[in-house]
Structure 1
């Protein structure tokens, strides 16, 4: 886990889930594993992140409650700062993350939380950045044998695939083919 817990990839979906409804750590860990099987989301990690988010003022804890014979569980909910932090993380994930990263995929999962025009602007910025990355070929790569530069081909393939996916998504948003919540 990064020393700065806010940089953990699980923070965005935790904030997103809490934006849907207040929840306790066990519920969040279960939902994270169900929706994002590729992420390691243990209850202890989620609990640690919730404590960090609480200290940062992004979530508030309710008094522990007990249901039936279950142990008391602290339920967390977003604060106004948490809502703003969530939106900032979505925007940053769309704009600043590396190609083919889990953080970009998680930001895409919450794209609909932004106004459509803001989503288009951020995705357009990313597409422009990817085009620049695609055009920038490392010096000397052309002089090497293909076998020694396969990673460059792989990288360019990733950039091209993500660029094409973003272009198709932008087209769907602009044409209103993708239903957007008001």
Structure 2
């Protein structure tokens, strides 16, 4: 895990899941495995990240509660700062994450929390940045061909997605937990 826990790829989907509804680490780990099966998810990692996120003010912990015969579990929920951080991480993931990265894939999954016009602009900026990156030669001919194909495919997909968003062809509900309009200003 990175020294800065906020850089862990699981932080974005944890905030997204908590924006949907408060949950304890065990529940979150299960939901993460369902939705992000491609990421290594353990309950201990989720619990550690939740504690770190609580110290950073992104989530808050309720007093541990007991359901039936189960041991007491601490339920976490997002704070205002957590919702704002979630939106910021989605925008940063769409704009700044490396090509073909899991951070980009995770951000795409939550792009709907951003205003549609903002998401389209961010994606167009990403396509332009990736276009510049595609001009950097790779070390060998196979690597260069692979990299060029990968970047070209992502650029085309991102441009198409931005165009579909602008045309209103993509369902855009700006959920979960959109920021209030005044916070977007």
TM-score (norm 1): 0.93
Out of 141, 154, 170, the residue aligned to residue 162 of structure 2 is 170
Within the alignment, does 1:100 sit opposite 2:100 as a pair?
A: yes
CA RMSD of aligned residues (A): 1.1
Aligned length: 174
Q: For 2:136 and 2:64, how far apart are their aligned partners in 1? A: 54
Deviation of 1:180 (Å):
1.2
What secondary structure sits across from 1:67 in the alignment?
Answer: coil
Does residue 151 of the first structure (1) align with residue 143 of the second (2)? yes
Determine the C-alpha separation between the residues in 2 that align with 1:74 and 1:2.
24
Greater relative contact order (Cα < 8 A, sep 6+): 2
- Alignment of 1:181 with 2:156, yes or no, is no
Residue in structure 1 matched with residue 12 of structure 2 by the alignment? 12
Report deviation, 1:128. 0.5
SS in 2 for 1:70: coil
In the other structure, the counterpart of 1:144 is none
2:178 is aligned to: none
Question: SS of the counterpart of 1:65?
Answer: coil
CA positional deviation for 1:134: 1.8
TM-score (norm 2): 0.91
Provide the secondary structure at the position in 1 that maps to 2:77.
Answer: strand
Q: Name which one, 1 or 2, has greater alpha-carbon Rg.
A: 1
Runs of 5+ unmatched residues, structure 2: 175-185
Please, which runs of 5 or more residues in structure 1 have no aligned partner? Answer: 142-147
Q: Which residue of 1 aligns with 2:134?
A: 134
Aligned match of 1:40: 40
2:162 & 2:122 partners in 1: Cα distance?
10
Are 1:161 and 2:157 an aligned pair? no
Q: Which runs of 4+ in 1 moved over 2 A?
A: 135-138
The equivalences for 1:70-81 within 5 A come to: 70-81=70-81
CA distance in 1, matches of 2:83, 2:166: 26
